[in-house]
Amino acid sequence: MADETEKGLESALRRRLLMGLAGLPALAVMPRMAFAATPPTSAVNTTGLAVTDTEVTVGILHSATGTMAISETGSIQSEKLAIEQINAAGGVLGRKIKVIQEDGASDWPTFAEKAKKLLVNDHCAAVMGCWTSASRKAALPVFEQYNGLLYYPTFYEGLEQSKNVIYTGQEATQQILASLDWVHKEKGAKSFFMVGSDYIWPRTSNKIARKHVENVLKGTVSGEEYFPLGHTQFNSVINKIKLKKPDVIWVDVVGGSNVAFYKQLKAAGIDLNKQVLLTISVTEDEIDGIGGENIAGAYSCMKYFQSLKNPNNEAFVPAFKKMWGEKTVIGDVTQAAYLGPFLWKMAVEKAGSFDVDKVVAASPGIELKTAPEGYVKIHENHHLWSKTRVARAKPDGQFELVYESPELIEPNPFPKGYQ
């Protein structure tokens, strides 16, 4: 495992050398901020944001209640941790971050409503928030209309790019393509059976995966099945899988269905140590509900796992547990949410201003070397360059890394040839 650490460092180093120029401004900004006096508010805030000489207001907008609270709690926690750490280190442009938290209540118009409140009433300089695509789609017009800035943490289907959003999660191709290549190469996988929940993210992801399997890997997709959200009976599709005997079961089932699917798969005698199962919807958070023993052996494709071995992560995990309890687990999205406040801070300091337009202009090229997932960088299309990782679920609910893409993967929210 020490290997991993070195590899992570090495690639970060190589990146920095390669992109020396891009790295310089960030390096140059940091010492200046540490010693320079706090710049006057009138200079850093020309658009009427909630910035005083000592404080800057940032919004957090997730569901603390309702069905999505299960998933979004981790994001709220890591965003609060990040903000606390930033404040402890002196804040942003000498100003402490003040948080206004609003509850989206798992209800999409409420997200739009609260987004508007955060922008219009509270004049938040940035908002960390949204989780489901539906909530983002509902809030997006508000951010565009009032020129707000949203940091969106979830891995999602892509097909979107907004000036007012920084996507800190992976879009579909970043999550899928490298892992398909891996399973093709390592396991000799030729045939795939896809099972998903019936909504836009699984359908789009599977579409991309299918094109890649059929056109690039020259394999076959022997089945593609969707079930309504919350469906709990999978015995029929499991029989179908047994009949087709695919090399890989490709799963993007979400929520409560996830639990039912893996329990029934296990009960049906499909041994995940023999049958390759690749999922893009299971993080440490989900395993909590599924039960480690039910999913042990499955492969998950994410960009972050709690068990990653690198110095950043070894600092992040204890800090998170210290703040939120020993028993909490950290999933991919929780980590992506943690990046938001830091990316914003760096962009603000690079721009020397809180003004949204300037922060947006400064964002592309921002590099974060302290990310728990390793090194990330903001692309011109507002998504992050990040690695694809594949890890195998263990009975204790953690993952064991088995593959990591050697290079950062370029975000490509509108992939040509995959639509």
Report the site for other proteins in 371-410 (rule: CB under 8 A): none
Please tell me whether residue 258 binds other proteins under the rule CB under 8 A.
yes
H or E element, residue 279: strand 276-279
Task: Enumerate residues 6+ apart whose C-beta is below 8 A from 283.
Answer: 300, 302, 305, 331, 332, 333, 334
Site string for other proteins, 59-98 (x = CB under 8 A): -----xx-x-xx--x-------------------------
Q: Which is nearer to other proteins, 23 or 146 (CB)?
A: 146
Please tell me whether residue 118 binds other proteins under the rule CB under 8 A.
no
Position among 7, 16, 96, 116 found at the interface with other proteins (CB under 8 A) = 116
Please name which of 346, 328, 302 lies closest in space to residue 77, comparing C-alpha atoms.
328
Site string for other proteins, 96-115 (x = CB under 8 A): ------xx-x-xxx--xx--
Q: Which is nearer to other proteins, 40 or 269 (CB)?
A: 269
Extract the tokens encoding 216: 């690039």
Extract the tokens encoding 169: 């999660």
Please tell me whether residue 264 binds other proteins under the rule CB under 8 A.
yes
H or E element, residue 57: strand 55-62
Please tell me the distance from the alpha carbon of residue 419 to that of residue 405, in angstroms, as a whole number. Answer: 24
Please tell me whether residue 22 binds other proteins under the rule CB under 8 A.
no
**Please, which of residues 265-324 interact with other proteins by CB under 8 A?**
266-269, 285, 287-294
Q: Is 202 helix (H, G, I), strand (E, B) or coil?
A: helix
CB of 156 to other proteins, least distance (A): 11
Please tell me the distance from the alpha carbon of residue 10 to that of residue 29, in angstroms, as a whole number. Answer: 24
Q: Which is nearer to other proteins, 362 or 393 (CB)?
A: 393
Number of residues that bind other proteins (CB under 8 A): 72
Please tell me whether residue 54 binds other proteins under the rule CB under 8 A.
no
Please tell me the distance from the alpha carbon of residue 54 to that of residue 182, in angstroms, as a whole number. Answer: 50
Across 244-348, the runs of DSSP E, i.e. the strands, are: 248-252, 276-279, 299-302
**Please, which of residues 195-224 interact with other proteins by CB under 8 A?**
198-200, 203-204, 224
